[in-house]
Structure 1
Amino acid sequence: MAKASDSKGKTLAAAARLFRQQGYHGTALHDILAAGGSPRGSLYFHFPGGKEEIGETALTLAGEAVRQAIAHAAETSESAEMFVTRIARGMASDLEKSDFREGCPIATTALETSAQSDGLGAATRGAFEKWENEIRRGLERFGMTSDRADLTATLVLSQLEGALLLARTYRSLAPMQRAEQALKLLVTPANLV
């Protein structure tokens, strides 16, 4: 028998994956339970706020996983070009592994719910803000000035989010590859200061 914490973790992982694939409104509680293999009673025990509480928690965890991946890319890169390349290729790899079913772990739900739910809106905003801040910190690590890093981080995140949407829609990595090339030009040494 799975421990309670295992049941909670499986529920959150299943919810995050399903929201990423089919959106918040396209995912029913029974879908989450079936995908997570959790008993119905555990859902209300761990998440008395129901689907919205699951959504907020799953989005926060998924957002943190991406933030950590961005931070790791910065720590293991030797240049700003390598940094943005690693982020773009990581996202492209995830998309390809899912057979183009799983784009951004936050965007689908953000588009559906941020204006309708304060809790879900806060979770999606928080994730995007953390990613943008992590990109900014990474760019500053490679010598980009603070003001320029603020602007560039927004451009990097916007470019990647748009490219993910196009790549998922087209079922092709070509938009991600073009976005990677554009981002490398954006962060060349001449553009760091």
Structure 2
Amino acid sequence: MTEPQKPRRRQSERAKTTRQQIISAAGLLFEEKGYEGAAINEIIELAGTNKGGFYFHFPGGRHDLAVAILNSTLAMEGLQPQELKLQEVVDTGSILAYRITKEADLRAALRLSLHKNARDIYGTPWPDWITINTTQLTEAQQRGEVRAGVSPTEQAYQIAGAWAGLVVVSEAIDGHLNNVEERVARMYMNLLSTIAHPGTLPEVDFSMDRGRRLYTAHLERKSTPPPDATA
């Protein structure tokens, strides 16, 4: 009974691989040339596929690719529940700060999200990210981690704007993102110092390598095969 399923599994794995290759190729070209400058034929060639394979996965062309890349910014992979909700606020941005130094898809997502007509063309992840941070900050306030009178929504807007601005300015000034993790860690420390309960702030880990540690642990968990149920 299991033998006929193997070809289907292999086909499914190949399809996933092809889809990711297309997304990765698009990420590189969107990052380099922007949304309008990245030609479909260039993406297909860089991905090592053909038009049939491309449009099978992305029938809407560049639009569907942009949506897929932007959705990757909200995957929140590596984020783990913490005793302090403020720690989760920091971890959300710290993981993405680490990933953006490694993944062209996320760098492309940031560029796409800052397009002046992004909301009308393919959407933008910023409202959803603000909602995530607002929810985290609201729960943190309910637990007494955040000072009374602080507006979680307003703070969430500030965090999103500060995070994006730091990444863009760091790359513009330095020509690379090697320093962005340290700058993001300091940003969170500065922002949270104005809203956190004095007894809570010392318990928050603002280490510049926290995002790397969390995401690396996540990848290790994903690559570890499940225990043999028959053992």
Do they superpose with TM above 0.5?
yes
The one-letter amino acid paired with 1:161 is: A
Pairing 1:71-86 to 2, within 5 Å after superposition: 73=79, 75-86=80-91
User: Are the equivalent residues in 1 in contact too, given 2:44–2:51 (CA < 8 A)?
Assistant: yes
CA distance in 1, matches of 2:117, 2:149: 29
Taking only aligned residues, the RMSD between alpha carbons, in angstroms, comes to 3.4
1:131 matched residue in structure 2: 129
Instruction: Tell whether 2:186 aligns with 1:167.
Output: no
Instruction: Tell whether 2:120 aligns with 1:118.
Output: yes
1:64 matched residue in structure 2: 71
Pairing 1:1-193 to 2, within 5 Å after superposition: 5-6=15-16, 7-44=18-55, 46-48=57-59, 53-69=60-76, 73=79, 75-98=80-103, 104-112=107-115, 114=117, 118-120=120-122, 123-124=123-124, 127-143=125-141, 144=146, 148-169=151-172, 170=174, 171-188=176-193, 189-190=196-197
User: Are the equivalent residues in 1 in contact too, given 2:130–2:157 (CA < 8 A)?
Assistant: yes
The one-letter amino acid paired with 1:142 is: A
Partner deviation per Cα, 1:112-163 (whole Å, 9 max, x = no partner): 4617x8332xx22xx1111111111122232257971100111011011011
* Rg larger for: 2
User: Are the equivalent residues in 1 in contact too, given 2:25–2:46 (CA < 8 A)?
Assistant: yes
Number of residues of Structure 1 aligned to a counterpart in Structure 2: 179
Structure 2 spans left out of the alignment, 5+ residues: 1-9, 201-231
Q: How far is the alpha carbon of 1:29 from its aligned partner?
A: 1.1
The share of aligned pairs that are identical, in percent, is 17
The one-letter amino acid paired with 2:162 is: Q
The one-letter amino acid paired with 1:164 is: V
Structure 1 spans left out of the alignment, 5+ residues: none
CA distance in 1, matches of 2:47, 2:29: 10
Partner deviation per Cα, 1:34-77 (whole Å, 9 max, x = no partner): 222221233345545xxxx333323332333322318x63x523
Q: Which TM-score applies when normalising by structure 1?
A: 0.71
Which structure exhibits the higher relative contact order, with contacts defined as CA atoms closer than 8 Å and separated by 6 or more residues? Answer: 1
Structure showing the higher helix proportion among its residues: 1
Structure-2 change in CA distance of 1:58 and 1:65 (3 Å): same
